[in-house]
Structure 1
């Protein structure tokens, strides 16, 4: 896995407050695999397949502060900060790929292969 892939994983770990080990990362081939892995770590049932919302989320400074603090003292996310749902997880994953890789929204499909279709090394 190249630098781009590592950055996507690190950003996802930070945002969702999870850890993805190397073995887990090695099993991810498609955006859908990545989505299902994150949902499993958040104990959510993934949508099959999810549909991207018209407006992607933007993570506010308040949310960033919460995640920084939660890494220091683990606690559940307050519902008004980040109430993770299968839909919000999908939308955030799409937002990460758009922002991190400069991809177009329509390129990020559930079955898109991360390395070959999206060019993430």
Structure 2
């Protein structure tokens, strides 16, 4: 796993308040694989062909701290504070790739290979 991949995994763990094991991360090949893994971890049924919303979410450090998502040990966010839906999981995942890799939201496709298509090492 390259540094870019590690940063994406760490940011994802932070925002979704989940833990992704090395073997789980190593099995992810496409954005869709990653999306399904996150959905499973947060307990939502993934969409078959997610479409990115027109406006991506942004979570500032202040908001992350408020939502209990910036701790070194992820805490489950209370459902009344943050309720994940299949669409919000997809949009936040796309936002992570855009933010961490400087990619365009249009490049983040469900079937995109993270290494080959997106150039994430």
State whether TM-score is above 0.5. yes
- Alpha-carbon distance, 1:76 to partner: 4.1
Backbone CA RMSD of aligned residues:
1.8
Q: TM-score, normalised by structure 1?
A: 0.90
**Does structure 1 residue 112 correspond to structure 2 residue 120?**
no
CA distance in 1, matches of 2:69, 2:26: 25
Does the CA-based 8 Å contact 1:63-1:82 persist in structure 2?
no
- Alpha-carbon distance, 1:71 to partner: 4.0
Which residue, 67, 70, 73 being the options, matches 1:68? 70
Q: Determine the structure 2 residue equivalent to 1:46.
A: 46
SS in structure 1 at match of 2:37? helix
- Alpha-carbon distance, 1:69 to partner: 5.9
Gaps of 5+ in 1: none
Does the CA-based 8 Å contact 2:53-2:91 persist in structure 1?
yes
Instruction: Give the length in aligned residue pairs.
Output: 119
CA distance in 2, matches of 1:115, 1:70: 27
1:61-104 C-alpha deviation (Å, 9 max, x unpaired): 233332236947x454242x321111000000000000100001
Q: Determine the structure 2 residue equivalent to 1:20.
A: 20
